[in-house]
A and B are shown apart, each in its own frame.
Chain A
Amino acid sequence: MAAGEELTLSGHIQHHLTNAKMCTVDGSVAFNKACSEAGFWTWHVDTLAWSIGLGLLFLWVFRSAATKATTGVPGKFQCFIEMVVELVATNVKDTYHGKSKLIAPLALTIFVWVFLMNLMDLIPVDFLPAFAGFVGEQALGMDSHDVYMKIVPTTDINLTAALAIGVFILMIGYSIRIKGVLGFIKELTLHPFSSKNVPLQIILIPANLLLETIALVAKPFSLALRLFGNLYAGEMIFILIGAVGLAQLPLHFVWAVFHILVIVLQAFVFMMLTIVYLSMASSDNH
């Protein structure tokens, strides 16, 4: 793979775990290693490209089903799409009791998008990076070892954090919309320790605020880190299995079969927790 460069196992793994970066250095666009000093304004182009590509794939597939949707006898494709929609709709209906036009499509987007991104994990780990390296070498004259390609967007903390922050913003938005600013502040300050005695209650406010804030902030953290951790670990094991030569074939198969479970489960868990958190944010009684 690497021309002239010694290929070590840790180097191989490191190569697999590095995103393709893009940034501007001194007013011009720079890539990968040149971006090590760019700090926050670095873009992971592989994560962005794969995730947006998969998101568009999801929207295109579902949109084409939606435009052809018939209330009569549905075709097989429409049946499949409706099964997914029905699954999401049932879970939303069971968990979220308010009225919202946003929750269900949000849950559907999260479920299918995260599922598709997780699914990239099942493509053998070396295929697309090696292909990208080949293309980079042939077309752009780069050293193939300098071409990075991480194809599972959910193994990038930036993506899972972006999803979690999006959900977090909605949680706060729903809290304020349903309970009002004052109600939201009350919820953060008057629980879980409450007292009828006003001065005592005032003394309890800092403790309440601390606990409730931690409880609130822990939700997006847990969302982001759960998805990232599961997929990162899965990816890591695929990479390690990929490094053991021919013995990888049965091992890869076993781990892939097991990983199918993780892929669906993590997408489902992210969706369910999003619904649950938004449901909690919208419910008035604490």
Chain B
Amino acid sequence: MNLNATLLGELIAFAVFVLFCMKFVWPPLINAIEARQKKIADGLAASDRAEKDLALAQDKAKDQLKDAKAQAADIIEQAKKREAKMLDEAVHKANAERENILAIGRAELEAERNRLREELRKQVAALAVAGAEKILQRSIDEAAHSDILEKLVQEL
């Protein structure tokens, strides 16, 4: 073993290398590694959370869809009911109107017929009187024979 001053030189070099490594090499490297590890851990946690959120959102969407469908069915049902009701009402109303109009028409018809008949009767009476006058060649005293005329009119 020939130990000599080289040992001192190497000792100093060793100390300087270790100090340099401790100050300028190790901290940035290990910090970068640890920061990345944290980043990755955070990213994994975030992805887990997102997955859970997604499942929740999907459940919620499903529920909402179900609700919406039920509501839509309700509304359609109601609309159908109302439609039927309205149709019914309209039919009823139309029927009533029709009856009404028919009744009025009938009444008018009746009145007209009566009036016409009256008029006809009067004209026939006049015609009968005129015919009778011609037959008799003389005028008839209307007042004296009015009972015959009345009877005639009645018979027509």
Choice from A42, A63, A106, A166 contacting B4 with Cβ under 8 Å: A42
Mask of A58-73 contacts with B, CB within 8 angstroms, 1/0 = 1100110111011110
B14 & A63 in contact (Cβ 8 Å cutoff): no
How far does the alpha carbon of A108 sit from the alpha carbon of B28 in the complex, in Å? 14
B26 & A105 in contact (Cβ 8 Å cutoff): yes
A109 & B11 in contact (Cβ 8 Å cutoff): no
In the complex, A262 has a CB within 8 A of chain B: no
How far does the alpha carbon of A238 sit from the alpha carbon of B22 in the complex, in Å? 36
Most-contacted residue by chain B among A38, A78, A105 (CB, 10 A): A105
Q: Across the two chains, which residue of chain B brings its CB closest to A158?
A: B6
Our count of residue pairs bridging A and B at CB distance below 8 angstroms stands at 124
In the complex, B1 has a CB within 8 A of chain A: yes
How far does the alpha carbon of A63 sit from the alpha carbon of B26 in the complex, in Å? 9
In the complex, A47 has a CB within 8 A of chain B: yes
Q: Across the two chains, which residue of chain A brings its CB closest to B28?
A: A66
In the complex, A121 has a CB within 8 A of chain B: no
A165 & B7 in contact (Cβ 8 Å cutoff): yes
How far does the alpha carbon of A7 sit from the alpha carbon of B16 in the complex, in Å? 42
Set of chain B residues within 8 Å of A163, measured between Cβ atoms? 10, 14
Stretch in contact with the other chain, from A8-16, A79-87, A193-201, A202-210: A79-87
Q: Across the two chains, which residue of chain A brings its CB closest to B37?
A: A71
Set of chain A residues within 8 Å of B30, measured between Cβ atoms? 85, 89, 104
Choice from B3, B14, B20 contacting A59 with Cβ under 8 Å: B20
How far does the alpha carbon of A157 sit from the alpha carbon of B11 in the complex, in Å? 12
A44 & B6 in contact (Cβ 8 Å cutoff): yes
A11-63 contacts to B, CB under 8 A, are 19, 38-44, 47-48, 51-52, 55, 58-59, 62-63
Set of chain B residues within 8 Å of A109, measured between Cβ atoms? 14, 17-18, 21
B17 & A59 in contact (Cβ 8 Å cutoff): yes
A105 & B32 in contact (Cβ 8 Å cutoff): no
Q: Across the two chains, which residue of chain B brings its CB closest to A52?
A: B13
A105 & B7 in contact (Cβ 8 Å cutoff): no
A156 & B6 in contact (Cβ 8 Å cutoff): yes
B4 & A71 in contact (Cβ 8 Å cutoff): no
Total interface residues on A, using CB and 8 Å? 48
How far does the alpha carbon of A158 sit from the alpha carbon of B6 in the complex, in Å? 6
In the complex, B49 has a CB within 8 A of chain A: no
Choice from A40, A82, A102, A158 contacting B22 with Cβ under 8 Å: A102
How far does the alpha carbon of A53 sit from the alpha carbon of B31 in the complex, in Å? 27
Set of chain B residues within 8 Å of A277, measured between Cβ atoms? none
How far does the alpha carbon of A43 sit from the alpha carbon of B3 in the complex, in Å? 10
A158-B3 in contact given A55-B13, A69-B29, A82-B29 (Cβ < 8 Å): yes
How far does the alpha carbon of A59 sit from the alpha carbon of B17 in the complex, in Å? 7
Q: Across the two chains, which residue of chain A brings its CB closest to B32?
A: A69
Set of chain B residues within 8 Å of A85, measured between Cβ atoms? 26, 29-30, 33
Choice from B1, B2, B7 contacting A162 with Cβ under 8 Å: B7
In the complex, B35 has a CB within 8 A of chain A: yes
CB distance from B38 to the nearest CB of A (A): 9
B28 & A67 in contact (Cβ 8 Å cutoff): yes
B35 & A71 in contact (Cβ 8 Å cutoff): yes
CB distance from A31 to the nearest CB of B (A): 14
B25 & A158 in contact (Cβ 8 Å cutoff): no
Mask of B68-79 contacts with A, CB within 8 angstroms, 1/0 = 000000000000
Mask of B21-55 contacts with A, CB within 8 angstroms, 1/0 = 11011111111110110010000000000000000
CB distance from A30 to the nearest CB of B (A): 14
**What are 16 A-B contacts with C-beta separation under 8 Å?**
A42-B6, A47-B10, A59-B17, A62-B21, A63-B20, A65-B29, A66-B24, A78-B32, A85-B29, A156-B6, A157-B1, A159-B10, A162-B13, A166-B14, A166-B15, A166-B18
Binding site for A on B (CB under 8 A): 1-11, 13-15, 17-18, 20-22, 24-33, 35-36, 39
Given A86-B33, A89-B33, 5 new contacts (CB under 8 A): A42-B4, A44-B4, A66-B26, A66-B29, A158-B6
